Amino acid sequence: MQRMRQFELRIQQTYRSGVMPGFIHLYVGEEAVAAGVCAHLSREDYVTSTHRGHGHALAKGVPVKEAFAEIWGKPTGVNGGRGGSMHIYDPSCGFLGTNGIVAAGIPIASGAAMAASLRGDGHVAVSFFGDGAVNNCAFHEGINLAAALMLPVVFVCENNLYATETPFHRVTRNTNVASRAAAYGIPGIGIDGNDVLEVHRVAGEAIARARAGEGPTLIECATYRPLGHFEGDPGTGYRPKEEIAEWKLRDPIDRLALAAMQAGLVAEAELRDIERQVEREIEEAYEFARLSPEADAATVTDFVYA
Amino acid sequence: MQRMRQFELRIQQTYRSGVMPGFIHLYVGEEAVAAGVCAHLSREDYVTSTHRGHGHALAKGVPVKEAFAEIWGKPTGVNGGRGGSMHIYDPSCGFLGTNGIVAAGIPIASGAAMAASLRGDGHVAVSFFGDGAVNNCAFHEGINLAAALMLPVVFVCENNLYATETPFHRVTRNTNVASRAAAYGIPGIGIDGNDVLEVHRVAGEAIARARAGEGPTLIECATYRPLGHFEGDPGTGYRPKEEIAEWKLRDPIDRLALAAMQAGLVAEAELRDIERQVEREIEEAYEFARLSPEADAATVTDFVYA
Amino acid sequence: MPEERNIQYVEASVEALQEEMRRDSSIFYIGQGIGQRGGNFKQSKGLWEEFGDRRVRDMPISELGQVGMGVGAAMAGARPVVDIVFLDMIMEAMGQIVEQAATIHYTSNGKFKVPLVVRAAMGSARCTGPHHSRCFYSWFAHIPGLKVVLPSSAADVKGLMKTAIRDDGPVIFIEHKFFYNKKGPVPTGEYAIPFGVANVCRKGKDVTILAMSLMVWHALEAAERLQKEGISVEVIDPRTIVPFDEQTLLESVRKTGRLLIVDEAQQFCGFSAEAAAVVSSKAFDSLDAPVSRLGALHTPHPFNPVLEAAMLPSVDGIVAEVRRLVAS
Amino acid sequence: MPEERNIQYVEASVEALQEEMRRDSSIFYIGQGIGQRGGNFKQSKGLWEEFGDRRVRDMPISELGQVGMGVGAAMAGARPVVDIVFLDMIMEAMGQIVEQAATIHYTSNGKFKVPLVVRAAMGSARCTGPHHSRCFYSWFAHIPGLKVVLPSSAADVKGLMKTAIRDDGPVIFIEHKFFYNKKGPVPTGEYAIPFGVANVCRKGKDVTILAMSLMVWHALEAAERLQKEGISVEVIDPRTIVPFDEQTLLESVRKTGRLLIVDEAQQFCGFSAEAAAVVSSKAFDSLDAPVSRLGALHTPHPFNPVLEAAMLPSVDGIVAEVRRLVAS
Ligand SMILES: Cc1ncc(C[n+]2csc(CCOP(=O)(O)OP(=O)(O)O)c2C)c(N)n1
Ligand SMILES: Cc1ncc(C[n+]2csc(CCOP(=O)(O)OP(=O)(O)O)c2C)c(N)n1
Ligand SMILES: [Mg+2]
Ligand SMILES: [Mg+2]
């Protein structure tokens, strides 16, 4: 979580300095979901992600340097800078992509699970998506297919209450995402998405069920995006200040730190050490990306056809 | 129901004689649904239908002659023979079309309901669709939108257990369509679709709710298609003979006739009269269509752009 | 000359919507973020405040559902405007657009009309990348029943939007996201611009350039530079590609004998091919050189700015191609 | 000459699938009705019996979901074949095809491959009407990253299907439903037909006809009739429009000086425009007459047989157009 957090704050800083192209959506405040889920996955398992996918990418194992450089559009990025923030792919760790199209990753995850199930290799797929994806086509068809075929896949909804500026309750009469699992005849569980331990426990059970051939699960993680929808959106025009402030108190990193200290599992100094270590790592990634050469225009037509 | 039944048997006969182009899907055996629902609708209410839509068209008021001629592809058809069986449209009775695309009529019905609700004229829309539509995109988005906007629309699923030759239970883990209403926060009711009185009662309540501004309802009508999927499919290769035989015993017309006679509401002779009257009407429609001239090739480019 | 103000392209579009919505209460507007937020690009600013939730309504991320609702509402007597925001997302709704919106008037033998405007923004703007930059308007033009509008100026966006809303059939109205906050002169009074009338943006005699949307600006800039070299360029903006004003283009090419088509979309099977085919055939004897086409490279949109610039037609590229064409 | 048998077009397609599925266990096949039923057109007959539910699986009516699953499975090392049955229904899946399947190889900088075959049948066959007859293959050709196959004979369907399955990228494989039960000679042994190699179906010297899919048959019939009038027609079938074998076509036109393109799809912004544009430009000095195009009328498919016949290119129409072209 520290890695995701510091990574993104550094990305934010860099973006604000005006050197980064495109637009970016930060995952800050929602890290417990990616961390808690991906802790159960091996490099051979699959993940599909979203426009807000930096956290998923790091948690699944995309190298920090290459991720930083990718978001910066550098040729040293994991995809040569051709993808950027919303198009990060890494086959070496089963990362099937962040995605500019809302909900598109859902059936893709079902497909990866189908490939794994055909091979019978025990691997699973996890699809992360937002509340905005829930009313979309691809959610419906992707989950129903996985259920009908009993595929090893776990669907993880990051319900942060808004899709851009639109509150979830304005666009559906059923805001209980977990309850929608029933429509597909699979288990659905709603949890506190800012509690990494709860995420870890529930995701572990769902992933174990998937590996055992017992089919998909839908997990709804209640979480929040304290920042704007994208970098540049102050994020305040459409949400009550109190709501934002309240959710900031539930920051997943602070909560875990506090709990761990209270339980005597870790000392404050140790946490500082981790922080500083991550800081160095991120700084190296930043420098790596910054010092990367520019892309070579001659490569623009590479890889159109396989 | 008699009209629908005899109409389609005459269509079948005509088709088998080889003079009708295209392919047709017959509604025989499912008439109670269209009859029970449409009895509550005025000409100003809206209906969207399916590939198996002759019954819906007649029940909503498309003239029998023009419907017959349309299915035959004659220029005297309600759409000049340009549409045929799967593309019957009639604005004069709010019939927004049979449809060659499964589930496509669902959001269209929501849209018609939105237009009515904007005008505040108290009209409603009804969308008929099969079990095959339930796992499709358009079902999900169309119903969710109607629910979110509390539109005056009723969704009527004709669950005849199969989509072409594929049994419903093979393509979903939740075969209870009515239960899927919960996903959208609206009421869902499962009923015997071959009992026209039950259909009439439940549909009446749902339509009244819609008119009163209380939002959409999903009604699942359990029914069956004793014939093949389309004319030419014997319909037997993929279904147990007993299943077909059993459902034939539940024929909606026979059941209503029997019930009415047992209740002393009607005498057998009266029923025979109705049958013969309808027979004459259908025969006239057949003759009307048969004697229609051929289409004029010069009209082929009419009506491309409005 | 009528009076004019200098306003943003996006403001001009909002004016059109506002004036039409005031005029006709059957018009409503739906889309993601077009309600209280006023639109991702400010393309609905103030409309929700004026017309309220019933006529200006935020939608879930359900492009298919939105367009389907638009079709149904249009059939039931309303005049919906459906905003897809990023054109790329219209892929989710292609079935409703093609099989329903475009086809029902024909198939119903003219009995139903589908007065639906589908609005979206296309094109690349500062590395919007592969999922937010596509320009596949040729798809719609290939489908009978759809009109396709590509406004390139603030005045055009207003006048064409009015015509789109008043049209009795489905119209695909595609703005360029790069423009939205650019300013241009817009007449004060009421006006509408008819479909199918090309705009000769600049008169010239040596070469004709046909360009759409953002490419019109590039073409005009290139023409300015070429003028200094003594090459006189005529720039034509078709404004709508369906209906397509063949006549204006053919007349120009008969005069100049040379045609360059500049298209932000890929060339293969696109509008640039159609225009080239039409001119090559109908102005066969007037052409002094083969028709030339300059489109995006046949690749997805790369995110990296250097690659993106290499992929898209540029002013430099246009200048070079015109020089070559004139020399040939 | 290798040994041959006379088998149905659809049987040839099943053979290709069967042989490939035996060879490579990572291939699976999904679609509506392609399981126990053996396919709406018998296009999967016997495969379910041989390979079982795990590799040959019936799907719900979820085209988007099917293709999305195909993309994910292909990224995860499988080689899926996704059957859409009627091409028209692919509209529901355009987003997955274009934004995901076609784009991921490029955007991932070559790191992911998406070896996906999307199979569908197009075209009109006995009044299949507006929702079951469309031929919009040009859409796919317009999108970078997709290969587009239009086999016109039983032998080609087998050889091209094998190549499609072995291809490491997404392939849109479009058969014609009118053919499925027609018979043609198919070699006995193992063979594959490379993409991008046009088939000169008939040699001639006065006029070149470029035709795809069912139109190849029409063109050959027309050529036969024209021969009797002393007009010698060369008929070229590109077999794949992406990649497109420009060379074979250009050589032919340089010889004949005249080109007619026959296309079952509408002309506007379609492949016929592309081919006409390419030839008009690259064989500019060899053309004795403007390139001519004969496509479907710019209307949806009417159901009525008289109207439908009027809408589609016919053998008579081809004959007349060639006569006109030769006289000009
Ligand atoms: C199919 C599609 N429609 C619209 C968009 C534009 N868009 C990008 S992000 C977004 C909101 C997504 O909300 P949610 O899924 O809740 O994720 P969050 O941003 O809250 O993490 C929208 C509408 C898109 N990317 N894809
Ligand atoms: C989107 C789409 N996909 C596939 C088809 C082909 N198709 C036509 S009817 C049908 C089965 C429909 O089943 P159901 O909805 O249950 O209706 P029923 O035929 O049982 O009345 C299918 C798959 C289609 N018309 N539309
Ligand atoms: Mg959200
Ligand atoms: Mg059914």
pLDDT single digits (tens) C122-149 = 999 889 999 999 999 999 999 999 999 9
Residue C2: the pLDDT is: 67
Q: Verify whether the Cβ–Cβ distance A163 to C62 is below 8 Å.
A: no
Question: Which of the ligands is closest to the CA of residue D60?
Answer: 2
- Residue B101 Cβ inside 6 Å of ligand 2? The answer reads yes
pLDDT for D251-293, tens place per residue?
999 999 999 999 999 999 999 999 999 999 999 999 999 999 9
Q: Verify whether the Cβ–Cβ distance D145 to A101 is below 8 Å.
A: no
For residue A294, tell me if it sits in a domain. Answer: no
Q: Which CATH architecture is the domain D199-327 placed in?
A: 3-Layer(aba) Sandwich (3.40)
Q: What percent of chain D has pLDDT over 90?
A: 97
How many A from CA of A178 to the centre of ligand 2?
29
Contacts of A150 in chain B (CB under 8 A): 173
Write out the catalytic residue numbers of D: 132
Residue A263: the pLDDT is: 93
* CATH number of the domain to which B24 belongs: 3.40.50.970
Sheet with D56-58: strands ordered across: D56-58, D27-31, D79-86, D117-122, D171-176, D147-149, D240-242
Q: Which atom of ligand 2 is nearest to the CA of B101?
A: 26
Return residues 131-170 of A near B (CB < 8 Å).
Answer: 135-141, 144-145, 147-148, 150, 170
Q: Whose CA is nearest to atom 17 of ligand 2?
A: B130
Domain D4-187 sits in CATH at 3.40.50.970
Report how many domains make up chain A. Answer: 1
Q: What percent of chain A has pLDDT over 90?
A: 99
Tell me the domain boundaries of chain D. 4-187, 199-327
Q: What rounded mean pLDDT belongs to chain D?
A: 97
Name the pTM for this structure.
Answer: 0.98
For residue B294, tell me if it sits in a domain. Answer: no
Indicate whether C328 pLDDT > 90. no
Q: What is the mean pLDDT of residues A219-233?
A: 96
Q: Verify whether the Cβ–Cβ distance D299 to C106 is below 8 Å.
A: yes
Residue C152: the pLDDT is: 97
Indicate whether C195 pLDDT > 70. yes
Residue A111 token pair: 């497909």
How many A from CA of B270 to the centre of ligand 4?
34
Please pick, among C132, C176, C218, C301, the residue that the annotation labels catalytic: C132
Nearest CA in chain C to B127: C72
pLDDT for D49-78, tens place per residue?
999 999 999 999 999 999 999 999 999 999
d(Cα A140, Cα A148) in Å, to the nearest integer?
A: 12
Residue C267: the pLDDT is: 98
For residue B305, tell me if it sits in a domain. Answer: no
Q: Which domain holds residue A54?
A: 2-288
For residue B299, tell me if it sits in a domain. Answer: no
CA distance D141 to chain A (A): 12
pLDDT for D138-176, tens place per residue?
999 999 999 999 999 999 999 999 999 999 999 999 999
Q: What is the mean pLDDT of residues C209-233?
A: 98
Q: What is the mean pLDDT of residues D92-105?
A: 98
Of A150, A183, A186, the CB nearest to B183: A183
Residue A193: the pLDDT is: 98
Task: Please name the residue ranges forming H helices in C167-291.
Answer: 214-228, 246-256, 271-282
DSSP symbols for chain A: -HHHHHHHHHHHHHHHTT---S-----TT-HHHHHHHHTT--TTSEEE--TT-HHHHHHHT--HHHHHHHHTT-TTSTTTTSS-TT---BGGGTB----SSTTTHHHHHHHHHHHHHHHT----EEEEEEGGGTTSHHHHHHHHHHHHTT-SEEEEEEE-SEETTEEGGGS-S---TGGGGGGGTS-EEEEETT-HHHHHHHHHHHHHHHHTT---EEEEEE----S-SSTT--S-TTS-HHHHHHHHHT-HHHHHHHHHHHTTSS-HHHHHHHHHHHHHHHHHHHHHHHTSPPP-GGGGGTTS--
For residue D74, give the nearest of A142, A112, A143 by alpha carbon. A112
Q: Verify whether the Cβ–Cβ distance B101 to C106 is below 8 Å.
A: no
d(Cα B164, Cα D274) in Å, to the nearest integer?
A: 39
Beta-bridge partner residues of B217: B154
DSSP symbols for chain B: -HHHHHHHHHHHHHHHTT---S-----TT-HHHHHHHHTT--TTSEEE--SS-HHHHHHHT--HHHHHHHHTT-TTSTTTTSS-TT---BGGGTB----SSTTTHHHHHHHHHHHHHHHT----EEEEEEGGGTTSHHHHHHHHHHHHTT-SEEEEEEE-SEETTEEGGGS-S---TGGGGGGGTS-EEEEETT-HHHHHHHHHHHHHHHHTT---EEEEEE----S-SSTT--S-TTS-HHHHHHHHHT-HHHHHHHHHHHTTSS-HHHHHHHHHHHHHHHHHHHHHHHTPPPP-GGGGGTTS--
Q: What is the mean pLDDT of residues D108-118?
A: 98
Whether C132 is catalytic is: yes
Contacts of D92 in chain B (CB under 8 A): 136-137
Which residue of C111, C147, C168, C172 is the best one to mutate when testing the B interface, meaning the one whose CB has the most B CBs within 10 A? C111
Residue A75 token pair: 């040729």
How many A from CA of A162 to the centre of ligand 1?
9
Q: Tell me whether the omega of the peptide bond preceding residue D243 falls within 30 degrees of 0, making it cis.
A: yes
Q: Verify whether the Cβ–Cβ distance B132 to D64 is below 8 Å.
A: no
For residue A299, tell me if it sits in a domain. Answer: no
Q: What is the mean pLDDT of residues C258-263?
A: 98
- Chunked mean pLDDT (size 10), chain B, 306 residues: 96 97 96 98 98 98 98 98 98 98 98 98 98 98 98 98 96 98 98 98 98 98 97 92 96 96 93 95 98 97 97
CA distance C268 to chain D (A): 5
Contacts of C265 in chain D (CB under 8 A): 142
d(Cα D186, Cα D84) in Å, to the nearest integer?
A: 25
- Residue A160 Cβ inside 6 Å of ligand 1? The answer reads yes
- Residue A159 Cβ inside 6 Å of ligand 1? The answer reads no
pLDDT for C53-76, tens place per residue?
999 999 999 999 999 999 999 999
D126: pLDDT confidence band, cut at 50, 70 and 90? Answer: confident
Q: Does B179 touch chain A (CB under 8 A)?
A: yes
Q: Verify whether the Cβ–Cβ distance D300 to C145 is below 8 Å.
A: yes
Q: What is the mean pLDDT of residues A36-59?
A: 98
Question: Which of the ligands is closest to the CA of residue A129?
Answer: 1
Residue A4: the pLDDT is: 97
CB B234 within 8 A of CB B228: yes
A275: pLDDT confidence band, cut at 50, 70 and 90? Answer: very high
